[in-house]
Amino acid sequence: MASTHQLKVQDLFSVKDYVCLVTGGGTGIGLMATQALVANGAKVYITGRRMEVLENAAKSHDLEGGGKIIPVGPCDVTSKSDLEKLVKEIESKEKYLNLLITNAGVSGPKAPPDTSSAPALHNKVWQGESVEEWGSTFKTNVTAVYFSTLAFLPLLQASIGDKFPARSPSVIVISSMSGIMRDSQGHFAYNAAKGATIHLSKLMSAEFEKAQVRVNSIAPGYFPSEMTMKDSDESNKTHMPDEKIKEKGHVPAERPGSDEEMAQAVIFLCKNMYVNGELIAVDGGVLNQVPGR
């Protein structure tokens, strides 16, 4: 039984002394997650394919007197040899890992099915997408999530002990609301891959329960990122105008999600040891408007 003074936010959601890893942690949602963890006391390793981006993220967003952002890599998460090198690099610095966030992803090909003519639809989509692009999209958004998680399972389990209890290590899979809705948005490969990612996170949550490692997923809606806006500023951050969201007509919040809102979801799933195998949509109400599964 907890007394009232034990239920302070700063105690419930502190990640002081946590060691975390975020793939694709240099920009977008990965950087938002990194900032949230660092702001609350964690040491966060960030990795990706572009070291200059990771180093700039650390330089721009490290918190003096708080946690620490540490670039590692470079690492292509679709490569088992790169993942093995990354594990060895972190093992040389740390005895354990408390949290892994699998965030690295790609948008894939786009071919909107916006005609009622079957021949025109066939021509547009057939010419607009390739088997190779589909394979690449699934390789990064699904396969790499699985092998990244598998690679770090031993380090995650190693955190269990006197300092951190059983079920405290966890994985947060960044999926997407696009993996739930029936609207392709012209991104058949991306939406199908994110649907697979969501199911994969549920499979891993059940199977890796044996190792006392929790796996949950966040399905973001429209958040500013380099992937969605094709650009970042000098601090690796991206702006998404409210008008861009309003014109879509299916976002009740009428704006993109904020860094703070993503931070709240990340810290909750990291800290709540009674949550496993869950999917949290942080989407501004889109899934109330767009048909889902």
The per-residue pLDDT for range 47-59, each reduced to its tens digit, is 999 999 999 999 9
Task: Give CA–CA dist 221/223, Å, rounded.
Answer: 6
Residue 120 is assigned to a structural domain of this protein = yes
Identify the CA nearest to 263 among candidates 74, 78, 61, 97.
61
Q: Is residue 3 part of a domain?
A: no
Catalytic residue among 45, 96, 190, 222: 190
Beta strands in 151-227 (DSSP E): 170-174, 214-220
Q: What is the pLDDT of residue 84?
A: 98
How confident is the model at residue 293, as a pLDDT? 75
Query: Which run of H or of E encompasses 13?
Result: none
In a domain, 105, yes or no: yes
287 vs 284: CA distance, rounded Å:
8
Q: Which pLDDT value is given to residue 186?
A: 87
Total number of domains constituting the chain = 1
Q: Is residue 2 part of a domain?
A: no
Looking at residue 209, what is its pLDDT? 97
Question: Which pLDDT score is estimated for 232?
Answer: 84
User: By residue range, what is the domain housing residue 72?
Assistant: 9-288
Q: Which of 168, 170, 175, 178 is catalytic?
A: 175
Q: Is 163 noted as a catalytic residue in this protein?
A: no
Long-range contacts of 81-84 (CB under 8 A, 24+ apart): 83/147, 83/148, 83/151, 84/151
Query: Does some domain include residue 4?
Result: no
Q: What are the C-alpha distances in Å from 213 to residues 8, 173, 275, 281?
A: 26, 13, 11, 21
% the chain with pLDDT above 90:
86
CATH number for the domain spanning 31: value is 3.40.50.720
The 10s digit of each residue's pLDDT in 229-276 is 777 889 999 999 999 999 999 999 999 999 999 999 999 999 999 999
Residue 293 lies in a domain: no
Task: Show the low-confidence residues of the chain (pLDDT under 70).
Answer: 65
Judge contact between 20 and 46, C-beta under 8 A: no
Q: Kindly report the pTM of this predicted structure.
A: 0.96
- Is 151 within a domain? yes
Q: Report yes or no on 100 lying in a domain.
A: yes
Residues forming beta bridges with residue 20, ordered by sequence position? 44, 99
Which pLDDT score is estimated for 63? 81
Q: Is 139 a catalytic residue?
A: no
Burial class from Cβ neighbours inside 10 Å (0-12, 13-18, 19+) for residue 169 reads buried
pLDDT at 225: 85
State the catalytic residue, choosing from 96, 159, 176, 194: 194
Say whether 175 is catalytic: yes
